[in-house]
Structure 1
């Protein structure tokens, strides 16, 4: 797919779009219309471009330092997976512009194969969401959004960064819009030798280089005051060379390609809002157990999707929402025992919103999935919000969510298990939101009970196979304090979060692997006129890496601090300098794969 990326043409096109006068923003259109509604009841962190540019290494770094999510990364830029509230990576749904894009083979998304700067906005939502976002939305959802503005004229961004380990990151974005038409194009290229060393661990990141490319094209057209059609397409391809312990080991690599295209028709009147989506998704991966030999395994998957979201507003108090979806999933493996397989899935969901007073809001949802040759449970969600005063409100969420087996779970040979059941979860959370002047505090205790968790375990025959684990219980607390103040030329923004997680296999009475009990993260920014400084800190507690809780195999607690300086010059230029891991902390998020010690980067952002 690399040949599809004609970046020189894209760059030239973007520069040609710079000769016009800007206009005032009229409308910002985001493709995921359900996300805004769910914010009313569930805790959501929204990160825009200014936030993403503080951690441009990859999406893993953003989530690690700016969210409650735990990230398990096999070395910088390598395979990376998230954990919400003590759940697994397969119980996190990645949602691209309102569509679940978890791999049909793995049942999850690889964080570092989702190019960070290919999106305008990132939102992290904790808690279950299967009624709206389907399989895997158990622990939480990560939303990768592209947006389009109207009546804004020409707008362009050019970003370039160079850092330690011969790392470069280039990004260009250009947009044009008037009151009827909006078009946006962007491209991103990242590469790194990634040859960092951690001498205290006798570790050199050999064969750790990576590079990836992303191209996005989006457009929207307002047909009239009630109808709008839109389109969003993304191309991605990446190469990761997996680290080895010494030159005696065989060097390996991994190729990943994806193509996503989404067309949407929106109708909006006073009583009726309807969104009709049609999408095509393609994913291909190839693994080479020796970089000079032909591929040793791989696979290619396709998804054809149609989805309709109908909302009818009776009055200011009551609204009904119906969501119907159909998918055809296809997959073909290479050297995996997976022949050409296909699966039809569909779902029907209904949601009722009731706002009896200005202080009380309720929502109830029910959903039934229909999955070929797999039994799916009836799902539900119940939410209620009470605004007790101007400074305190509380939200209660109760839901049943699920994940059905992936193609690898069912068909991988040897090991696939056709008798697997779908995972189901019952969960509840009680959000407490406090506001006082410039302070906001959110404290959310939660409880999750998961039945039939799918886990790959070693067998007596010498290979691994997935099995259902009877019962997993997770409970804990998510909290976050935010402060923002602007006084003349001075602007201060502070955010700090604490996460407590207790996640156990109740049958074995053992903690789940790679789930730290304690995580603390914080971000502070101070801006004066043209200068801005920021600091980030992240603490992870003791993390078990084996199912028998061996202390000597566990990851020790660590505390990592980053910092940076940005200078705005002539209004359109922003020059930045960053120091990652200021105190040279030695730490791992995955056993035997240390992450880099102190490293540096400099960047230039041009907005015109």
Structure 2
């Protein structure tokens, strides 16, 4: 029966065969975020492997800045950092860990430099809305931190050590074992940096810029029967960031963060249906120290209990229905003078998706979702996606969706300034993905349009403090493009090229001005070339004019700049790799946030052992 159904699906389409094969092939790999393989059928994603991540090993900000269409605002290397997709804000980006939304209930966003960089099997970047599947904040886009567990691989491991400029030491180790029934993986990372760089042209010294973080990832999976698997994934993260001070005589400040994430998954996977039941617990603790060695000034404790069920059923070989139910309890408690007391809320949702594979080159997906957020009115969300492969060299994808973000604890309860009457932000968006493939080259052109209503903003009041309001409407439109090419020559040569250009116009409709920290133009490129045991890579990034004020003042704008990195790796005796990297070869003076320049030319060396 299973073979008969697989042959039927094979006749439907090669894309569906890939999808169905991934859905059923648990003998090879267990994927914690089972929705991603479905998302890839209809959306274009940027997928980064551990080798890609290693190219920008100092923090996640560097990875996304040079290898994705996302604009990153970073208050100096290793400090507070936030993303901007398609002209939106950090609150409009969803961070998703193994299928679970991990945005902070306090801030409604994720601090990129307080998210572990190593220990994932993939990082995937998805521009565009995704609230039907991934919930609140998935308006501008989503960043997915994914883990996998393989079976029948035996023992394996890796150790990597890096020494870099500014007193930076970075160590990562990973070990794994699996047989036909059991799979286990563990990894750990330790990173510390004095981060005491200088930018003389700006008279800038990164005093008190030290940062440290450590991560432990543990995953295990066990096949209870031919079609049943129980799996567990956990992450433990600890970090300290010191904040830059202007003079040595000033008090040194710091920020500490501790994160625990644990996910248990029970998966049933048969020929006609599959079901994934997940239970997760996440905890984020943070403390701010106005004086480094004194008791904390403020902070918070956030605990989330999450239950999620994902049921997938093939009504017909061409017709698939997917029902997703989720319940969360979010608990928060402010510490010190944080402005938020002890708060909690219940959040539930029910979503339904229908996928139809009309022919070998045509498929559709339609989704609908209702959220139930305690004391907050939530809109009905919907999505529609279609993909058509017109011929061997051109395919067309269309996406239309309504997405949302509900207010964070700070938005609602900060004292003074919180507003318990806030409405959820909503957005409507559409994009059209055109993909051309000729002679090994692939070109993607994606124009998009987005409109956000009831945007939540913090504004000054006559009483002298800032408060939250549902205010302006924002309209964002632009073009995302990517050109890629890869080829092997004579078994000894391998070449991979990618280049992306993004044009973003994001306008406050009340003023008709471009939003702050949204560059009109961004260009990035990556080159990988390997000859036998030698591998060379280079990265380039151009960032266009970026306004830092709401009135488009050029006096305070960040002017265009170009930055380039390059590295060389040599693999010896198959298991040993030595590497050398130069960051900012061009010695460019640049910043992504006004008054916080990033480092000029700097260096690193690294060694990797595979066993």
- TM range, normalised to the smaller chain? over 0.9
Choose from 476, 485, 503 the match for 2:487: 485
- How far residue 302 of structure 1 moved from its aligned partner, in angstroms, is 0.3
- How far residue 26 of structure 1 moved from its aligned partner, in angstroms, is 5.6
- How far residue 405 of structure 1 moved from its aligned partner, in angstroms, is 0.2
- How far residue 316 of structure 1 moved from its aligned partner, in angstroms, is 2.1
State the Cα deviation string for residues 55-110 of structure 1 (Å, max 9, x = none).
10110000000000000000000000000000000000000000000001000000
C-alpha distance in 1 between matches for 2:316 and 2:181: 29
1:410 is paired with a residue of what secondary structure?
helix
Matched, 1:532 2:545: no
- How far residue 463 of structure 1 moved from its aligned partner, in angstroms, is 1.7
Q: Which residue of structure 2 aligns with residue 523 of structure 1? A: 526
- How far residue 47 of structure 1 moved from its aligned partner, in angstroms, is 0.5
2:38 is paired with a residue of what secondary structure?
helix
- The unaligned stretches of length 5 or more in structure 2 are 1-25
- How far residue 187 of structure 1 moved from its aligned partner, in angstroms, is 0.5
Q: Where do residues 134-145 of structure 1 align in structure 2 (5 Å cutoff)?
A: 134-145=135-146
C-alpha distance in 2 between matches for 1:26 and 1:538: 41
TM-score where L is the length of structure 2: 0.95
Q: Which residue of structure 2 aligns with residue 440 of structure 1? A: 442
RMSD: 0.9
C-alpha distance in 1 between matches for 2:199 and 2:338: 35
C-alpha distance in 2 between matches for 1:337 and 1:207: 26
- How far residue 470 of structure 1 moved from its aligned partner, in angstroms, is 3.0
Q: Which residue of structure 1 aligns with residue 71 of structure 2? A: 70
Aligned length: 584
Residue pair 1:26, 1:152 contacting (<8 A) in 2 also: no
1:50 is paired with a residue of what secondary structure?
helix
Q: Which residue of structure 1 aligns with residue 385 of structure 2? A: 383
State the Cα deviation string for residues 182-241 of structure 1 (Å, max 9, x = none).
000110000000000000000000000000010011000111111000000110010000
Q: Where do residues 418-567 of structure 1 align in structure 2 (5 Å cutoff)?
A: 418-488=420-490, 489-567=492-570
Residue pair 1:393, 1:433 contacting (<8 A) in 2 also: yes
1:361 is paired with a residue of what secondary structure?
strand
C-alpha distance in 1 between matches for 2:603 and 2:339: 45
1:37 is paired with a residue of what secondary structure?
helix
Q: Which residue of structure 1 aligns with residue 374 of structure 2? A: 372
Q: Which residue of structure 2 aligns with residue 291 of structure 1? A: 292
C-alpha distance in 2 between matches for 1:26 and 1:321: 23
State the Cα deviation string for residues 278-327 of structure 1 (Å, max 9, x = none).
00000000001111321111000000000000000122210000000000
- How far residue 263 of structure 1 moved from its aligned partner, in angstroms, is 0.1
C-alpha distance in 2 between matches for 1:259 and 1:460: 41
Q: Where do residues 129-278 of structure 1 align in structure 2 (5 Å cutoff)?
A: 129-278=130-279
- How far residue 146 of structure 1 moved from its aligned partner, in angstroms, is 1.1
State the Cα deviation string for residues 136-168 of structure 1 (Å, max 9, x = none).
000000000111111000010100000000101
C-alpha distance in 2 between matches for 1:268 and 1:79: 42
**Structure 1 consecutive aligned stretches of length 4 or more whose deviation exceeds 4 Å:** none
Q: Which residue of structure 1 aligns with residue 589 of structure 2? A: 586
C-alpha distance in 1 between matches for 2:484 and 2:81: 28
| 450-459 or 59-68, larger mean C-alpha shift | 450-459
C-alpha distance in 2 between matches for 1:349 and 1:37: 15
Matched, 1:87 2:95: no
Residue pair 1:42, 1:127 contacting (<8 A) in 2 also: no
Q: Which residue of structure 2 aligns with residue 14 of structure 1? A: none
State the Cα deviation string for residues 219-268 of structure 1 (Å, max 9, x = none).
00111111000000110010000111222432110001110000000101
Matched, 1:354 2:351: no
Residue pair 1:34, 1:98 contacting (<8 A) in 2 also: yes
- How far residue 465 of structure 1 moved from its aligned partner, in angstroms, is 1.4
Residue pair 1:387, 1:393 contacting (<8 A) in 2 also: yes
| 249-258 or 132-141, larger mean C-alpha shift | 249-258
C-alpha distance in 2 between matches for 1:518 and 1:40: 28
C-alpha distance in 2 between matches for 1:459 and 1:584: 43
State the Cα deviation string for residues 525-575 of structure 1 (Å, max 9, x = none).
110000011110001001011111111111111100000000001100110
- How far residue 28 of structure 1 moved from its aligned partner, in angstroms, is 1.8
Q: Which residue of structure 1 aligns with residue 606 of structure 2? A: 603
2:473 is paired with a residue of what secondary structure?
strand
C-alpha distance in 2 between matches for 1:605 and 1:512: 43
C-alpha distance in 2 between matches for 1:510 and 1:413: 31
Q: Which residue of structure 2 aligns with residue 5 of structure 1? A: none
C-alpha distance in 1 between matches for 2:348 and 2:437: 42
C-alpha distance in 2 between matches for 1:388 and 1:110: 41
C-alpha distance in 2 between matches for 1:528 and 1:130: 44
C-alpha distance in 1 between matches for 2:310 and 2:271: 16
C-alpha distance in 2 between matches for 1:455 and 1:573: 52
C-alpha distance in 2 between matches for 1:303 and 1:200: 46
C-alpha distance in 1 between matches for 2:274 and 2:425: 33
C-alpha distance in 2 between matches for 1:453 and 1:249: 37
C-alpha distance in 2 between matches for 1:36 and 1:277: 17
C-alpha distance in 1 between matches for 2:170 and 2:62: 15
C-alpha distance in 2 between matches for 1:252 and 1:413: 23
2:109 is paired with a residue of what secondary structure?
coil
- How far residue 603 of structure 1 moved from its aligned partner, in angstroms, is 0.3
TM-score where L is the length of structure 1: 0.95
